[in-house]
Amino acid sequence: MRWSKLFIPTLRDAPADAEAASHKLLVRGGFIRQLHAGHYSLLPLGLRVHDKVENIVRRGMEQIGAQEFLLPAMHPASIWQRSGRWESVGPEMFRLHDRKEADLALGMTHEEVFSHIATEITSYRSLPQIWYQIQWKFRDEPRPKSGLLRVREFAMKDSYSFDLDDAGLDHAFEVHREAYTRIFERLSLDAIAVQASSGMMGGTGSVEFMVPSPAGEDDIARCNNCGYAANVERATSTLAPVDDGDGSSELTRFPTPGVRTIAALETVEGGAPAHRQIKTMVMVLDGAITLALVRGDHQLNLQKLADGTGAADIRAAEPSETVEHLGAHPGSLGAVGVTDLPIVADHALRGRRNLATGANTDDWHYSGVDIDRDIAVGEWLDLREVSAGEPCVNCGQPLEVVRCIETGHIFKLGRRYAEAMGATVLDADGVARTITMGSYGIGIGRAMAAVAEVHHDDRGLIWPAAVAPYAAVITVASMRDDAAVTAAERIYGELRGLGVEVLLDDRDARAGVKFADSELIGVPWRITAGRAVADGEVELTTRSTGDTERVAIDDAAAAVAALADAARS
């Protein structure tokens, strides 16, 4: 393709509201443009990259014998009502009416539709199956952000496995885990497979594929020694034992004027160090006030609270609500003597004695609290978020906490959807059995943005050859240099003959502009036809290293084709 004919609107300045590197560079490089919040147009360059990512994912699926479908993006309400999610998913689903006033939804995922089709699997002999599609998903995200990283409509590869029994599901899940590992390698993404919470999908297990990046929105805990890795929504760690002193002590109520924080309670007379305090978080779980207790120096993880209690809607109570239900403002709250509200507590508080906590009267606290004696804990749960440096549960080495982009997520769904849709088969004994399912997603645009996030420098993008919009660009330093133009045209023709995707920068612009643009759009190899042409040579520059070597005009096309081939295998 000739650059002079292509629509590549590069920008010297990034839009003021772009924050993430991928966002800035994809806009500056002329890959994407925003239509409105969370909705982006893919320009010709952007679509080329998107297509390449898509095809890498597609090949990964074909490798495990998955069959490609294409399902409707718009669904009747009825299938979502059947699975119960019409009610349970809430405002994240785009809903609309047709002219007959029938309820419709834009698909945010396709468990319902696929399991509906799966009702036509009638014999165990047809199992297992793996079905997939690459289809647009619509999600009314509360907060779209960071360019392609978090949007409201996006292409997702979603696959679904159908098996007779748990062993089959385990196998399909494992096969996907391996396929995902290969796909992300192919994309040059160092994705870490971590244990994850299953969230709204439900099911018995899930693994997320996380790419370390400051632009991400999730934290994972990982151990560099033994390989343990989990989303902080799931991660645990070993804790050093705490010495609560000898014997039991008396519950004592004492005045603490102005003390509102854990830190303040550490230093007052009668107080205690943070790890010997109880932090009382007053939460509203599906509308019901609940006390969630963690150690004073620990952080409550909301997803763990949701997973542990089964609550769908969680928020912190307003100060007015804490006054109404407990009689005090945040800063003086506690669970001692509370019997009319549910209380859940983190394992780290089990059996603990001699603790300090709020007394449910402003400016008063308790000391000498014995959890078992003084607090009516209804349920012990894992509620605390791990912190960097805490010992790994497996090997004891310190954990690190890393910010990541979630590029893939695989779930063991079990029989929930198949049961709702009535997807059963007859087994060898002629008994009807409900199919068990897994579901497996990769966000195409998000993966593309993640690659951009990881592979760039201060000059622009550095696409890995596997996803680059073009493998090479031939830069003609000056269009008035007839010899250079001739050499460039010749190499251009040869490369196209060799099947290499190549751009010919034939714009009547200054060399500096062309160099800068080629680096901004991140094409892996550049051939410069300029002053070296007088010696029968051109320059070959590798984008990732900046290294330049001279190559004979005669050999240039073959040299680039060899590099592109090497990168392909």
Partner RNA sequence: CGGGACGUGGCGCAGCCAGGUAGCGCACCUGCUUUGGGAGCAGGGGGUCGCCGGUUCAAAUCCGGCCGUCCCGACCA
Looking at residue 240, its amino acid is A
Residue 204 vs 303, nearer CB to RNA: 303
Q: Should residue 5 be labelled a site residue for RNA when binding is judged by CB under 7 A?
A: no
Sequence length of the chain is 569
Rounded-to-integer distance, Cα 204 and Cα 170, Å: 11
Work out how close the CB of 3 gets to RNA at its nearest, in angstroms, rounded to a whole number: 11
Of residues 146, 213, 332, 436, which one binds RNA by CB under 7 A? 146
Q: Which DSSP string do the residues of 135-190 spell out, in sequence order? A: EEEE---SS-BTGGGB-SEEEEEEEEEEESSHHHHHHHHHHHHHHHHHHHHHTT--
Q: Should residue 374 be labelled a site residue for RNA when binding is judged by CB under 7 A?
A: no
Per-residue x/- track, 321-360, RNA (CB under 7 A): ----------------------------------------
Of residues 441, 464, 522, 524, which one binds RNA by CB under 7 A? 441
CA-CA distances (angstroms) from residue 453 to 208, 288, 447, 462? Answer: 18, 41, 9, 10
Q: Which DSSP string do the residues of 186-254 spell out, in sequence order? A: HTT--PEEEE---GGG--SEEEEEEEE-TT-SEEEEE-TTT--EEETTT-----------SS----EEE
Q: Give buried/exposed letters for 499-526 (b at 16+ CB in 10 A, else e).
A: ebbbbbbbbebeeeebbbbbbbbbbbbb
Q: Should residue 218 be labelled a site residue for RNA when binding is judged by CB under 7 A?
A: yes
| Six-digit token string for 384 | 């605390």
Of residues 102, 513, 552, 562, which one binds RNA by CB under 7 A? 513
Of residues 73, 289, 314, 559, which one binds RNA by CB under 7 A? 314
Site for RNA in 219-248 (CB under 7 A): none
Work out how close the CB of 35 gets to RNA at its nearest, in angstroms, rounded to a whole number: 9
Work out how close the CB of 202 gets to RNA at its nearest, in angstroms, rounded to a whole number: 10
Annotate 79-91 with three-state secondary structure: HHHHHCHHHHCHH
Work out how close the CB of 534 gets to RNA at its nearest, in angstroms, rounded to a whole number: 9
Residue 36 vs 100, nearer CB to RNA: 36
Rounded-to-integer distance, Cα 145 and Cα 152, Å: 10
Q: Give buried/exposed letters for 377-389 (b at 16+ CB in 10 A, else e).
A: beeebbbbbbeee
> 312 CB contacts (<8 Å, ≥6 apart)?
88, 200, 286, 306
Contact at 8 Å (CB) between 404 and 220?
yes
Separate counts of helices (H) and strands (E) for the chain: 15, 33
Q: Should residue 156 be labelled a site residue for RNA when binding is judged by CB under 7 A?
A: yes
> 493 CB contacts (<8 Å, ≥6 apart)?
none
Contact at 8 Å (CB) between 134 and 58?
yes
Candidates 112-120, 185-193, 413-421, 440-448 — which segment interacts with RNA by CB under 7 A? 440-448
- Specify which residues 57 forms β-bridges with: none
Residue 357 vs 528, nearer CB to RNA: 528
Of residues 442, 474, 495, 556, which one binds RNA by CB under 7 A? 442
Candidates 123-131, 237-245, 429-437, 476-484 — which segment interacts with RNA by CB under 7 A? 476-484
Q: Should residue 438 be labelled a site residue for RNA when binding is judged by CB under 7 A?
A: no
Candidates 54-62, 165-173, 528-536, 558-566 — which segment interacts with RNA by CB under 7 A? 528-536
Work out how close the CB of 72 gets to RNA at its nearest, in angstroms, rounded to a whole number: 19
Work out how close the CB of 142 gets to RNA at its nearest, in angstroms, rounded to a whole number: 3
Site for RNA in 546-565 (CB under 7 A): 548
Work out how close the CB of 209 gets to RNA at its nearest, in angstroms, rounded to a whole number: 7
Q: Should residue 284 be labelled a site residue for RNA when binding is judged by CB under 7 A?
A: no
Q: Should residue 528 be labelled a site residue for RNA when binding is judged by CB under 7 A?
A: yes
Contact at 8 Å (CB) between 544 and 524?
yes
Q: Should residue 16 be labelled a site residue for RNA when binding is judged by CB under 7 A?
A: yes
Per-residue x/- track, 157-196, RNA (CB under 7 A): ----------------------------------------
Candidates 170-178, 337-345, 371-379, 529-537 — which segment interacts with RNA by CB under 7 A? 529-537
Site for RNA in 478-507 (CB under 7 A): 478, 480
Rounded-to-integer distance, Cα 256 and Cα 334, Å: 14
Residue corresponding to tokens 């919040």:
37
- Specify which residues 163 forms β-bridges with: 436
CA-CA distances (angstroms) from residue 144 to 31, 37, 92, 149, 416? Answer: 19, 6, 12, 8, 30
Residue 16 vs 566, nearer CB to RNA: 16
Q: Should residue 115 be labelled a site residue for RNA when binding is judged by CB under 7 A?
A: no
Residue 147 vs 334, nearer CB to RNA: 147
Site for RNA in 76-95 (CB under 7 A): 92
Site for RNA in 23-52 (CB under 7 A): 34, 36-38
Handedness of CA 147, 151, 157, 159 (dihedral sign): positive
Residue 266 vs 505, nearer CB to RNA: 505
Rounded-to-integer distance, Cα 142 and Cα 204, Å: 27
Q: What are phi and psi of 300, to 5 degrees?
A: -75, 130
Candidates 44-52, 56-64, 263-271, 473-481 — which segment interacts with RNA by CB under 7 A? 473-481
Candidates 73-81, 260-268, 298-306, 342-350 — which segment interacts with RNA by CB under 7 A? 298-306
Residue 143 vs 568, nearer CB to RNA: 143
